[in-house]
Structure formats: C-alpha cells, structure tokens
Structure 1
Amino acid sequence: MRAAVWDGQLLFVSDQVKLRPVGEGEVRVRVLRSGICHSDIAMLTPHAPKLPVILGHEAAGEIAEIGPGVAGWTTGDLVAVGTQTPCGDCRECRRGEPHNCDINWGFTPDFPFTLDGAPVASFANVSSFASEIIVKASQLFAIKDLPLEQGALIGCAVSTGVCASRVLGKVRTGDTVVVFGIGGIGVNAIQGAACNGAHVIAVDANPAKEAVARQFGAEAFVLADPAQDSAAAAEALARDHGPIDVVVECSGAVGAINTALRCTKRGGRVVLIGMSRYGSEAALPLTSFVMGGEVIATMNGGAVPERDYPELIAQAQSGQLNLADQISGVWPLDRINEAIAALKAGEVTRAVIDHEM
C-alpha cells in the first residue's frame, strides 16, 4: 500500500508500507480522500512525539474488511472517519465528556504500519495519508451520497469549527461573534455561528480572506495587523463591533489570542481552538474574567462524534452547511508537499488528497 511518511526530516511517499491485520471491533478502510489540516502540518517537525509517522486525520473512504465483533456495516459502505476513540471507562467518559478522554487521543499507542520491517506510528487514530487504515468501528459514520471530498472534512475541520461555535461558544440568535483565522476551521466556525442566527465578524491578516469569510456567512471583515498592540486591536474591535458575546480563535497566533482575550463584553466567552506553536504563551487579562468571562481551550471544538457527526453530515447534504466551496483544490498523494505548501502560504482554504489519482 501507499502512504506519505514523515521521518522527522522528509515527508515522502512510499508504496512499501504494510498494515497489520484487522482485529476485534475494527474495520479496514480504503481511504479515498483525505483532508490536510494545519494540525498535520504542525507535526512536520523533528520533535514529533513518535517517528516515523503517517499523518492525516480527515478521511473518507469505503469499508474494505470487517473484523470480528463488528455489526451494522457492510464492505463497500462509504464512510467518514472520526478521530476520537474514547475508552468509555475513564473519569471523563463516565462524566459524559468523551471528547476529553486522554486514554486514546493523539498518537495511538501501537504502531499499525511497518516500512521495510520497521514500525511506523499512526496519528490521531486515523493516518489518512495512507491508502488503507485500520480504525475502530465506532469511528465510522455513513456519508451515503455526500461527495467524498466533503465527507473527508467532517472528522476535523467541519466538526471542530461548527461545534466550537455551537457547543463551546453556545452561540445564540442575535449574538455578535468574532472569528479569528479564516482557514478550514475558521470558515466552519463562521457557518456554525451564522446558522445559529449570530452576527459574525471575521478577522484575518490576509486581505484575500475577506471574500472567503463573507461567502460563508460573515457580515463584516477586519484586516488584522500583526504589529498592532493587542490591547489596541481589542479596543477597536469592541468599539466598532461590540458588544462581542463570543470569540472563536482559530489561528493559534499569539497576537490573535491576546486580542481575543481582551475584546469580549463582560461575561463574554472566548473559545481557543487554533493550533499554537510549541512553547507559545499568551497573557490572560485576569480582570476581564473575574467579571464573569469564560475561556475554553480545546482541539476538537467540543464535538461528540455520535451526537454531532450525523447532524453535520445531514446539514451538509441539505446544503445548510456549505462544504463544497471550502475545497480549493484536489491533489494526488504524490504531490502532497505541493498541497501543504499552498496551505502554509494561505493560498487555499482546504486542500484534499485524492488517493485514486
């Protein structure tokens, strides 16, 4: 099978990768489409927790093999793959917060792949930069007639962004919501807030993002100046667009986070979901939050797959959520480095790998 492998120095494509056999409660999926997320790009470092590794965590494909103990699925079924594999038994799972389970999160404990006989790690319980993967049956969600390119985005960009607004932001009709960082997650945070009846202001340092933000429901756009003092930027946002009820920060940039923490109204809510660089620190203005404000930081937007994914898929199928226009381009696996370069340069909103090309 073919896969893009990160060895700490190079991201290269090999057709010599092998996959272990399917086990109890597991399914082998032939990956047909894979999104590329900035979380994947953040792992392209010599300091990744496990190396070598096959990255990618946004997958859509077809079931190729069903393991023992799995019911309700048939080979050939088209599915989106979720990243969460909560254990069901830890404190957080028992509290009804499986998205906070830390038993099965990030890098899987085993090494399901091998290359030239050496173990290769999996990422986020998926590894969609591989043409075949083994996942738990509980990670699968039927996409039926939803196009594969769109189905691949459900597992992260769509669920994280939409749920950041709806679940963590608790956005209500009439709220004013500011979304920082208009990338793959940001456009979905905009959609999640707009669909709930909010007035959305988009903020980004790239002027080309204004058209993108408005396409997905933003009513106003603010061009960020990375050199501007965060307190001054927050004051301007609050003056021109306040009172601001909810902020969803998707960029992970320290300056944007510092502005986000300062611009909400008294009792406002700040949701931090952007991937920051390792070692980054932001300054929390304590006086703002002593007055009743709330800061929530998470990587998955608070999405609970079994609760949220079917609804998101249905809303995408009905057109309530616009997934088609998020996809700026489709690349074959052999050109994955080109797709990543386009994302890093801010030239595309979403890049998708087509394993059939």
Structure 2
Amino acid sequence: MKVVRFHAPGDVRFEDAPEPGAGPGEVKIRVRNCSTCGTDVKISRFGHHHIHPPRVMGHEIAGEIVEVGDGVDGWSEGDRVQVIAAIPCGECAECRRGRMTICPDQVSMGYHFEGGFAQYMVVPREVLRVGGLNRVPAGVSFAEASVAEPLACALNAQNLARVGVGDDVVVIGSGPIGCLHVRLARARGAARVFLVELSRRRLDMAAEPVKPDAAICAGETGPVEEILRLTGGRGADVIITAAASGRAQEQAIRMAARQGRISFFGGLPKDQPTITCDSNLIHYRELTIVGANGSSPAHNAEALDLVASGAVPVADLITHRLPLESAIDAFGIVARGEAIKVTIEP
C-alpha cells in the first residue's frame, strides 16, 4: 500500500509500505479521509520528540472498518468510524478524575502509532480501550468526520472558557481552528462573535463562509481598540487566541471585559514561550485565563453530533480535497495559508 511517512526533518516521503493486519484487540480501517493541520507542517519541517522515524503521519482520521481483530466486540466490517488523535491511558489519577485531556501518559496517532496518511491503518487497542473509536452518524461524510477531531479540541477550549448565551466572543486567528471556534461559539449562544487576523487575505477567505459579526484585520487597525469600540468600551466576555502568537495573548488580556475569560488555545514557539502581561488587569477585572490541551474521546463523540445536527457545519470549510500522493504538497498549501481546511483522500 501507499503511505506518507516522516523520516527526518525535511524528509517526508510518499512510498510503499506493507499493508497491516488487525491483531488482537485492534481493528483495521480503510482510510477515507485524513485531514491536515498546522501540526503536520511543523512535524514535516522540524520533527517531534515523540516521533521515532520512520512514522506514517496524519491524525485527523475517518474511514471504514475492513477487519476486526480477536477479542473486539461491537464493531463489524463496513462500519464507518472516526478515530481520536490524542489517546489517554484511562487509568492514571487524572483520567480517573475525568480529566483525560491532561493525561500525563497520553499517546497519539501519527506520533506513537502509525497515522492516517495511508490507504489502510490499524486502530490500536489503546484507542478502543478508552472508547476512542466513534461511529460516524448517518448523513455525515468521511471528510466531515475527519474534521471532528479539531472541532473536539475547540469544544474542550470553549468548555473551559465557559462560552455561553449572550457572550461577546473574540477569536484571534482565522485558520481552520479559528473558523471552527467562530461557528462553535455561535452554536453555544454567543451574542456576537468577532474574528481577528493579521493577514487581510486570510481574514477575507475565512470571513466569507463563517460570517463573523465583525472581521478585524490586525495588520491594518489596532484590534484592542477596535474590540473596545465595538463593545462600547466594555470589552469582550471571551477571547480565544487561536494563533501561536504571544502578542495575541497580550492583546487578549487588554480587550477582556470585567470577569472576562481568556483561552490560550494556540501554544507559543518553544524558543519564545513567555509574554508580558499587566497583572493588575487580571486582578482588578477578575479575569480568568485558561489553557486548552487537545480533546478527550467524549469531546470527539460530541463533535460528531454537532456536525450531524447541523449546529456546527464543516463541509464548506474543506476548501481542498487531494489524493494521498499530493499530501506533501498539501503541507505547503497549509503553510502558505492558501486554504481553510485541506483533506487527503487516500
């Protein structure tokens, strides 16, 4: 079979690999869609400390079961499924407390296990053990199902930031995750959702489908001042930084309303992990700052339901559909910001 495999930073190959079989406790799937994200670009360029090459990449996975291993109950050939990316152990102190997103023993598809940029792949027993193989609801395409994984991450973040009815929400960053945040905030009852982006081209591309209440180009105007103007000087109830930008995090604090909640969704580069903040703003305005780290199996299942119900549409966010042999080209498309969401169809 054909795969896209990471060998070293700057060395990702489209090549042949033996077709796997399902062992005890595993299922084998025919991959129908594996969508790309910025993490794939970073891995292709710089590698990752959890990846020991060679490794098949790809972690936003949907497909159909073609083989069921011994000891697996409840699954059959032909079942349409979505696979979680981050796999908690299910046994540690955090998992037992229901905090699976911060499992210290978490492993991941495309990192510790072979990923979805392949014609076939094995879903390991670790995924099945924590309920991480989800049925794709009727009416949801494989491409849409593959986007459930990043939507699940957005859902975790918005739960932690308590996005709810009547909130003014700012999303900083108009990539695919920013677009999902806009639509999810609307589904949760936000009064207004504002989208902020440094690049005019990327902002316009995202704003056309998701239609925020205001699209603010940070390269042309001060986003803090504009959010304060739009909110009558009050500020926003929730700000989500869906960008790897320390400046965006600093701006988020300054544009928050009293008792506002700020989600640092996008992590910062390892060589620039710190920001400067006015601690008195946090103190006197009673602000809450939360992180967000991936998603749990339950978040993935809920994300699929949100897509199936139409509460969070994702099909129109998939702007590029490419064959497996073009996956490496897809990384360039993502890096250059030429797409909202790129999905690979092996």
Superposition pairs of residues 7-46 of structure 1, within 5 angstroms: 7-8=7-8, 9-15=10-16, 17-18=17-18, 21-46=21-46
Distance 2:283 2:94 in 1: 27
Instruction: State the match for 2:213 in structure 1.
Output: 219
Distance 2:258 2:107 in 1: 34
**Post-superposition shift, 1:129?**
1.3
Segments ≥4 residues shifted beyond 4 Å: none
Instruction: State the match for 1:158 in structure 2.
Output: 151
- Please say if residues 182 and 203 of structure 1, whose CA atoms lie closer than 8 Å, have aligned partners that are also in contact: yes
> TM-score with structure 1 length normalisation?
0.85
Amino acid at match of 1:316: V
Instruction: State the match for 2:266 in structure 1.
Output: 274
1:288 aligns with 2:290: no
Distance 1:185 1:204 in 2: 13
Instruction: State the match for 2:322 in structure 1.
Output: 331
- Please say if residues 88 and 296 of structure 2, whose CA atoms lie closer than 8 Å, have aligned partners that are also in contact: no
Percent identity between matched residues is 26
Q: Which runs of 5+ in 1 are unaligned?
A: 109-121
RMSD (Å) for aligned C-alpha atoms = 2.2
Q: Secondary structure at the match of 2:28?
A: strand
Q: Which string of whole-angstrom CA distances, capped at 9 and with x for unpartnered residues, describes residues 211-263 of structure 1?
A: 5235325111110129x8xxx64344334334211111111122222212322
Instruction: State the match for 1:314 in structure 2.
Output: 305
Instruction: State the match for 1:130 in structure 2.
Output: 118
Distance 2:205 2:322 in 1: 24
Instruction: State the match for 1:116 in structure 2.
Output: none
Superposition pairs of residues 161-310 of structure 1, within 5 angstroms: 161-165=154-158, 167-198=159-190, 199-208=192-201, 209-210=203-204, 212-213=206-207, 215-225=209-219, 233-241=223-231, 242-281=234-273, 282-291=275-284, 292-300=286-294, 303-306=295-298, 308-310=299-301
Q: Which runs of 5+ in 2 are unaligned?
A: none
Distance 2:265 2:59 in 1: 16
Decide which moves more: 83-92 or 217-226: 217-226
> TM-score with structure 2 length normalisation?
0.88
Aligned residues: 331
Distance 2:13 2:296 in 1: 33
**Post-superposition shift, 1:320?**
2.0
**Post-superposition shift, 1:21?**
4.7
Q: Secondary structure at the match of 2:31?
A: strand
Instruction: State the match for 2:66 in structure 1.
Output: 64
Distance 1:176 1:276 in 2: 25
Q: Secondary structure at the match of 2:169?
A: strand
**Post-superposition shift, 1:102?**
2.0
Distance 1:19 1:205 in 2: 44
Q: 2:135 aligns with which of 139, 142, 163?
A: 142
**Post-superposition shift, 1:81?**
0.9
**Post-superposition shift, 1:126?**
5.9
Distance 2:170 2:291 in 1: 16
Q: Secondary structure at the match of 2:258?
A: coil
Amino acid at match of 1:63: I
- Please say if residues 163 and 192 of structure 1, whose CA atoms lie closer than 8 Å, have aligned partners that are also in contact: no
Decide which moves more: 169-178 or 24-33: 24-33
Q: Which one scores higher on RCO, CA 8 angstroms, separation ≥ 6? A: 2
